[in-house]
Amino acid sequence: MLTPISWLKDFVEIKLPVEKLAEELSAAGLTVEKWLKVDTDIVLDPEITPNRPDWLSVYGMAREIAAVTNTKIKSKESRMKTKAAKNFEIKIKNDFELCPRYTAIIIKGVTVKQSPDWMKERLKKVGLRPISNLVDITNYVMWELGNPLHVFDLDKIRGKQMVMEEAKGGEDFRSLDGINYKLPKGAIIFKDVGRVIDLCGLKGGENTAVSSETKNILIHIPVYDSVRIRKTSQALGLRSDASAIFERGADPGNTVRALERAVELVLELAGGKIEDGLVDEKKGPFEPWTVEMRQSALGKVLGIEIEPEKAADILDRLELTTKIEGDKGNEVYRVTVPTFRNDLHIEEDLIEEVGRIYGYDNFPKILPTGPLPIQKVAYFHDDDFDLQIKQILKGEGYSEIYTYSLVSEEQLVKLGFNPEKVLRVDNPLSREYEYLRPHLIGNLLEALKANSALFSQIKLYEFGKIYQGENLDKFSERYQIAGIVSGEDFYQVKGELQILLENLDITAEFLPPEENFNPNPWLHPSRTAVIMAGRERIGALAEVHPQLLAKFGLKMHVMEWTLSRDLLEKYADHSRKYRPIPKYPPIIEDLSLILPDKVLVGEVVTVIKNSSKLVAGVEQIDVHENSHTFRITYLDPEKNLTDKEAAEIRSKVLRNLKEKLKVSPKG
Amino acid sequence: MQGKLIDLKNEALAQILSAGNTRELEEIRVAYLGKSRGKITNIIKKLPDLPPQERAIVGRFANETKKAIEDALETQSTFLSKRRAENIAQTEWLDVTAPAVSLPDGHLHPLTQTLNEVVKLTNRLGFQVVTGPEIETDLYNFERVNMPKNAPSRDTQASLYLDCRNSKIQPGEILLRTQTSNMQARVYEKTKPPMRVLVPGKCFRVDDLDATHSYEFWQFEGFVVDRGTKMTHLFGTLDYILKGLLPGIEYKLWSTNFSFVEPGVEVVAKRTDGSWMELLGAGMIHPNVLKMAGIDPAQWSGFAFGMGLTRLAMMRFQVDDIRVLTNPDLRILKQF
């Protein structure tokens, strides 16, 4: 909403330098961060919030400046006075559903020519192209007073009638700037006999536009239903200065005044004479309404005490006429709200008006008082747990990355996903960002690839949402933690994950995948471990399949792992308790065993451990071909173990190994 | 036997005196006095074989020899450690600037670090972190925060809608949340006030992808509902958090309009060139929002604030391009 200071000065005295004015207006909610100098003038370029259509006009801005700087607005009552039409030449068929107020007038005998320089200059300053006096006047009055209006060539309207209706959809319409449209269903239109002559609120029709030959005109100022204008505007991808006002809500109380201003300018600049009088159809009275505000509520919301006189003064400055009733401390403000402030309907709205003009920077700053709420809120998320995981990974040399949730079809296909069964955005911004990632591995591989030219050891992870499910009837989103590693082997990464899990107080095992495990196609078929806690799979560790790596242009060995954040939290058992250190010394011995093909070290360890309660620890300490050396710790918490007792356990261990796994000692 | 002991003693003492370090001394001790194969020990072990008279004499002599060697070891050891201490500056010099044995160097992402600061600060004020869906319904994302269908305020949050193929869902019903405010109504539904809540999370909007825009970005939203919550409490909370996050910040409170608050304010921070930059939006929770959630605005009031975590991280680390935060280049990551 470009607004020249010189135009504002028609209505309000401005003494402040522009920087100061901009700051004061911004603090009150009319954000002015930009302005430009045009010759000796300054043109403000404010950002208007959706709730304030009244600021989409020079007069509305002037009114705000008057309130903020505490000066008087110069009233701009039209010198032109109109009377109601007795027998309007055009039969208007209005529809209050679509247009709660409709005001129009006919002027005959006008002369179309160029506008005077002063008007042309003002229009240019606000970015409008001067066309002819009649068109320029409609633009000028809209800019000045905030009600959009349109001028028709009276003689081009067929059958002396204008009928308002909703488009059925698909009608052809050619706008006055020569563009053809197929009308969307629900668009508000005016028809004469068989023709659409106005795409209301957006564009006038070519068939009834004024031209250099125009002699007689009809000017109307409608107030259209904002929702329909907005829908049509969106459907056509078409916005105009007028539609911006209608969408937010044009002032239904101002149509007569704005039309009178237009008539005044027409008679002055184009000549002619009013034919008959004014048509003014309105659904309601469109009179100011009353909202009450309690002094007690003012303090309760704002947290400061503002004297009633001060508050009433602020409201009066905003043209919110105020009467104070009631006893001291219990005052009630009866506030009359003018029609241009359709954003003010409840007490809180008025409280905001007082607060914003009083100035929030003048408020004290107090921390909330009262006891801290201790109940756990719904959707609680233990952020400490997340951070703990991230800190451990950091210590292990992993760098954290954040990537986009939206991925390309190309990536999905590479990974072996069927894009038909992946959640998809209907209106993607590009094909690169179209699908919701069902896994973090794709972006991690791309990240690895991006770093592979410069780094040999790469350890990255992401802690982020994945989105699973074939369609919107059944889908889930959850936090996954996934890592990718080059420059380390399977067992190094396994060690890192074990430390992570131990630090989180999770007891977990790395096992070969279960029979029913449905492996992701990017996993190396014989180098995949599932990570089990309780009976649940909380994650997996695997080498990435060389075929997939080739698709990403990677040649080295790459490990990847995934963990479910929620299952980690579920299995984190923080019930650690102190155990006294053993009173008696252990007996430690090394046992070299020959493992037949496919017998797992994990199984051997389990068999040894389960052979006796007195086996306190087993670890593999050396491997040479199929010969594995295990260090076993025997310990009796109650007494000193004798060599003889140790020997007994050992023979039981060996017997079990032989029977259950066909494992025998070396040599 | 005694002769042999004398020879061994002399041999040992000579070796001890010429020993240059404690390791050599230990080797000498093991060679003569070691439990299993020490030369003196072996003789002492054989003592029981001697006739009783000789046994007593040799035994005493052997013990004296042992004691002499032990003393010499002790004396030489003391001497050596003293000498070592005297010369340590020269003999044990290290180049401390030589490279370390490299340990893994991991890094927390700047967004994680920034979020952690936010969480820490708000935790102290009793806020609890919640998370919730990014795939959201129109109801929670918009309607329940006072942004009815066709409200012009929705224009500022153009949405990415999900393809409803093969489902019973109607087009336009489910979208990627445009704001973390979707969690307000969700939390209100299941939690009775009072509450202090922090919602960090990813949001999505139709936007360009350039140095200052992204259609995926991180926000955090805080809200408090309690008896007698006032605007001054909002300002106190914002002041505490902003000064904690951005020490030395100069900011102002401007009036603005967001559908889900009334009154609404924005915090603008001073740029180095003196102009003001929008930092966050906030306000008193609109009574409609509370009413829709079944909370009586006559009894309870609240405030809410929302801020771009992405923007905050950019300010904290002076990142000038938003895409840096999603770039996995280790040359970037290793800086944090």
- In angstroms, the separation between the Cα of residue A64 and the nearest Cα of chain B is 13
Residue A582 lies in a domain: no
Are A14 and A147 found together in one domain? no
CA B198 → CA A566, B164, B191, B205, B218, distances in Å?
Answer: 19, 31, 14, 21, 13
| CA-derived radius of gyration, chain B | 39
Compute the average pLDDT of residues A204-216. 97
For residue range A112-155, what is the model confidence (pLDDT) as tens digits?
A: 999 999 999 999 999 999 999 999 999 999 999 999 999 999 99
Are A267 and A314 found together in one domain? no
CA–CA distance, A55 with A58 (Å, rounded to integer): 7
- The pLDDT assigned to B89 comes to 86
> Helices A241-248 and A226-236: crossing angle, nearest 10°?
140
Are B59 and B116 found together in one domain? no
For residue range B191-229, what is the model confidence (pLDDT) as tens digits?
A: 999 999 999 999 999 988 888 889 999 999 999 999 999
Residue A410 lies in a domain: yes
User: Which of B174, B187, B262 lies nearest to residue A472, judging by beta carbons?
Assistant: B174
- In angstroms, the separation between the Cα of residue B188 and the nearest Cα of chain A is 8
Q: Which residue of A has its CA nearest to B277?
A: A33
> How long is chain A?
667
β-strand partners of A453: none
Whichever domain contains A325, its CATH number is 3.30.56.10
Task: Answer for the pair A523, A544: CB distance below 8 angstroms, yes or no.
Answer: yes
Q: Which residue of B has its CA nearest to A392?
A: B106
Structure tokens at B163: 């393809």
Are A561 and A650 found together in one domain? no
Residue B321: exposed, middle, or buried by beta-carbon count in 10 A (0-12, 13-18, 19+)? exposed
Q: Do A303 and B103 touch (CB under 8 A)?
A: no
State the average pLDDT for chain A.
Answer: 95
- The pLDDT assigned to B212 comes to 87
Predicted ipTM? 0.90
Residue B38 lies in a domain: yes
20-39 of B, contacting A, C-beta below 8 A: none
User: Which of A51, A379, A429 lies nearest to residue B257, judging by beta carbons?
Assistant: A51
Are B127 and B28 found together in one domain? no
Question: Taking CB atoms and an 8 Å cutoff, what residues of chain B touch A428?
Answer: 160
Residue A368 lies in a domain: no
Question: What does residue A120 show for φ and ψ, rounded to 5 degrees?
Answer: -60, -40
Among A209, A284, A271, A199, residue whose Cα is nearest residue A242: A199
Q: Do B231 and A301 touch (CB under 8 A)?
A: yes
User: Which of A227, A377, A470 lies nearest to residue B130, judging by beta carbons?
Assistant: A377
Q: Do B135 and A467 touch (CB under 8 A)?
A: yes
pLDDT at B18 over 70: yes
Are B118 and B247 found together in one domain? yes
- The pLDDT assigned to A520 comes to 85
- The pLDDT assigned to A450 comes to 96
Q: Which residue of B has its CA nearest to A248?
A: B152
Number of A to B CB contacts under 8 A, please give it: 280
Are A411 and A469 found together in one domain? yes
Lowest mean pLDDT among A112-116, A322-326, A378-382, B48-52: B48-52
| Exposure class string for A485-524: b at 16+ Cβ within 10 A, else e | bbebebeebbebbbebbeebebebebeebeeeeeebebbb
Q: Which helix (H) or strand (E) holds A314?
A: helix A308-317
- In angstroms, the separation between the Cα of residue A460 and the nearest Cα of chain B is 9
Residue B314 lies in a domain: yes
CA–CA distance, A612 with B325 (Å, rounded to integer): 55
CA–CA distance, A101 with A225 (Å, rounded to integer): 10
Helix %, strand %, coil % of chain B (to 5): 45, 20, 35
Residue A178: exposed, middle, or buried by beta-carbon count in 10 A (0-12, 13-18, 19+)? exposed
Q: Do B231 and A402 touch (CB under 8 A)?
A: no
Question: Taking CB atoms and an 8 Å cutoff, what residues of chain A touch B261?
Answer: none
102-121 of B, contacting A, C-beta below 8 A: 103-109, 111-112, 116, 119
Whichever domain contains A129, its CATH number is 3.50.40.10
Are A429 and A493 found together in one domain? yes
- The pLDDT assigned to B2 comes to 81
Are B80 and B114 found together in one domain? no
Are A485 and A615 found together in one domain? no
pLDDT at A281 over 70: yes
Cβ of residue B308 closer than 8 Å to a chain A Cβ: no
Q: Which residue of B has its CA nearest to A394?
A: B106
Are B180 and B53 found together in one domain? no
pLDDT at A516 over 80: no
- The pLDDT assigned to A171 comes to 95
β-strand partners of B276: B270
Are A309 and A185 found together in one domain? no
| Percentage of chain B modeled with pLDDT above 90 | 74
Helices and strands (H and E) in chain A: how many = 19, 30
Are B66 and B124 found together in one domain? no
Mutation choice for B interface testing from A229, A343, A348 by most B CBs within 10 A: A348
Are A191 and A317 found together in one domain? no
Q: Do A459 and B104 touch (CB under 8 A)?
A: yes
Structure tokens at B173: 């019903």
For residue range A416-435, what is the model confidence (pLDDT) as tens digits?
A: 999 999 999 999 989 999 99
| Exposure class string for B46-70: b at 16+ Cβ within 10 A, else e | eeeeeeeeeeeebeebbeebbeebe
Question: Taking CB atoms and an 8 Å cutoff, what residues of chain A touch B117?
Answer: none
Question: Taking CB atoms and an 8 Å cutoff, what residues of chain B touch A365?
Answer: 232, 235-236, 238-239
150-179 of B, contacting A, C-beta below 8 A: 150-153, 155-156, 160-169, 171, 174, 176
Q: Do A300 and B228 touch (CB under 8 A)?
A: yes
- The pLDDT assigned to A92 comes to 96
Are B135 and B248 found together in one domain? yes
Are A518 and A598 found together in one domain? no
- In angstroms, the separation between the Cα of residue B287 and the nearest Cα of chain A is 8
C-alpha A465 chain-centroid distance: 17
Among B233, B231, B232, residue whose Cα is nearest residue B284: B231
β-strand partners of A474: A471
Q: Do A356 and B263 touch (CB under 8 A)?
A: yes
Are B162 and B238 found together in one domain? yes
Residue A659 DSSP label? H
Q: Which helix (H) or strand (E) holds A399?
A: strand A399-400
Are A562 and A648 found together in one domain? no
Mutation choice for A interface testing from B125, B186, B330, B333 by most A CBs within 10 A: B330
- The pLDDT assigned to B140 comes to 96
pLDDT-derived band at A667, boundaries 50, 70, 90: confident
β-strand partners of B235: none
Residue B103 lies in a domain: no
Are A270 and A297 found together in one domain? no
Helices and strands (H and E) in chain B: how many = 11, 9
Residue for token pair 């869902």: B169
Last residue of a domain, one of B64, B91, B118: B91
Q: Do A427 and B134 touch (CB under 8 A)?
A: no
Whichever domain contains A652, its CATH number is 3.30.70.380
Q: Which helix (H) or strand (E) holds A321?
A: strand A321-325
Residue A80 lies in a domain: no
Are B58 and B164 found together in one domain? no
Are A205 and A265 found together in one domain? yes
Whichever domain contains B309, its CATH number is 3.30.930.10
44-103 of B, contacting A, C-beta below 8 A: 103
Residue A374 lies in a domain: no
Q: Do A379 and B257 touch (CB under 8 A)?
A: no
User: Which of A31, A396, A426 lies nearest to residue B106, judging by beta carbons?
Assistant: A396
How many separate domains does chain B show? 2
For residue range A79-124, what is the model confidence (pLDDT) as tens digits?
A: 778 899 999 999 999 999 999 999 999 999 999 999 999 999 999 9
Residue B102 lies in a domain: no
β-strand partners of A632: A589, A618
pLDDT at A78 over 80: no
CA–CA distance, B216 with A403 (Å, rounded to integer): 9
CA–CA distance, B12 with B4 (Å, rounded to integer): 12
Q: List the domain range (segments joined by +) for residue B283.
A: 110-333
- In angstroms, the separation between the Cα of residue B328 and the nearest Cα of chain A is 6
277-306 of B, contacting A, C-beta below 8 A: 284, 286-287, 301
Residue A439: exposed, middle, or buried by beta-carbon count in 10 A (0-12, 13-18, 19+)? buried
Torsion region of B305: left, alpha or beta (phi above 0 gives left; psi -120 to 50 gives alpha): beta
Q: Three-class SS of residue A604?
A: helix
How many separate domains does chain A show? 5
pLDDT at A345 over 70: yes
- In angstroms, the separation between the Cα of residue B28 and the nearest Cα of chain A is 30
For residue range B92-132, what is the model confidence (pLDDT) as tens digits?
A: 899 999 998 888 789 999 999 999 999 999 999 999 999 99
Are B192 and B251 found together in one domain? yes
- The pLDDT assigned to B4 comes to 87
Structure tokens at A461: 């992870």
pLDDT at B3 over 90: no
- The pLDDT assigned to A356 comes to 97
Cβ of residue B148 closer than 8 Å to a chain A Cβ: no
Q: List the domain range (segments joined by +) for residue A641.
A: 587-665
Are B307 and B275 found together in one domain? yes
For residue range B44-93, what is the model confidence (pLDDT) as tens digits?
A: 888 888 888 888 888 889 899 999 999 999 999 999 989 888 888 888 89
Listing DSSP states for A172-232 in one string gives EEEBTTS-EEEPPTT-EEEESSSSEEEETTTEEBGGG---TT--EEEEEEEE--HHHHHHH
- Report cis status (omega within 30 of 0) of the bond before B194: yes
Task: Answer for the pair B107, B333: CB distance below 8 angstroms, yes or no.
Answer: yes
Side-chain half-sphere CA neighbours of A397 within 13 A: 16
Compute the average pLDDT of residues A38-66. 95
User: Which of B162, B275, B330 lies nearest to residue A455, judging by beta carbons?
Assistant: B330
CA–CA distance, B14 with A122 (Å, rounded to integer): 113
Structure tokens at A389: 């995981």
β-strand partners of A219: A105, A151
CA–CA distance, B62 with B60 (Å, rounded to integer): 5
Q: Do A403 and B105 touch (CB under 8 A)?
A: no
Alpha carbon dihedral A643, A645, A650, A652, in 10-degree steps, equals 160
CA–CA distance, B282 with B234 (Å, rounded to integer): 8
Task: Answer for the pair A282, A100: CB distance below 8 angstroms, yes or no.
Answer: yes
Q: Tell me the CA end-to-end span of chain A in Å, nearest whole number.
A: 93
User: Which of A393, A402, A446 lies nearest to residue B106, judging by beta carbons?
Assistant: A393
Residue for token pair 């959706």: A50
Q: Do A301 and B119 touch (CB under 8 A)?
A: no
Residue B105 lies in a domain: no
- The pLDDT assigned to A76 comes to 67
Cβ within 8 Å of residue A129, ≥6 positions away: A123
State the average pLDDT for chain B.
Answer: 93
Compute the average pLDDT of residues B147-176. 90
Compute the average pLDDT of residues A374-396. 96
- Between strands A91-93 and A161-166, the pairing is parallel
Q: Which residue of B has its CA nearest to A28?
A: B255
CA–CA distance, A652 with B214 (Å, rounded to integer): 66
* Residue B90: other Cβ atoms inside 10 A: 7
For residue range A573-625, what is the model confidence (pLDDT) as tens digits?
A: 988 899 889 999 999 999 999 999 989 999 999 999 999 999 999 999 999 99
Residue B45 lies in a domain: yes
Listing DSSP states for A501-561 in one string gives HHHTT---EEEPPPTT----TTEEEEEEEEEEETTEEEEEEEEEPHHHHHHTT--S-EEEE
CA A374 → CA A46, A599, B194, B237, distances in Å?
Answer: 44, 53, 9, 18
Residue B205 lies in a domain: yes
Are B10 and B116 found together in one domain? no
- Report cis status (omega within 30 of 0) of the bond before A130: no
- Between strands A273-282 and A203-204, the pairing is unpaired
Residue B188 lies in a domain: yes
User: Which of B105, B183, B253 lies nearest to residue A361, judging by beta carbons?
Assistant: B253
pLDDT at B152 over 90: no
Task: Give CA angle at B255 (B252, B261), nearest 5°.
Answer: 120
Cβ of residue B205 closer than 8 Å to a chain A Cβ: no
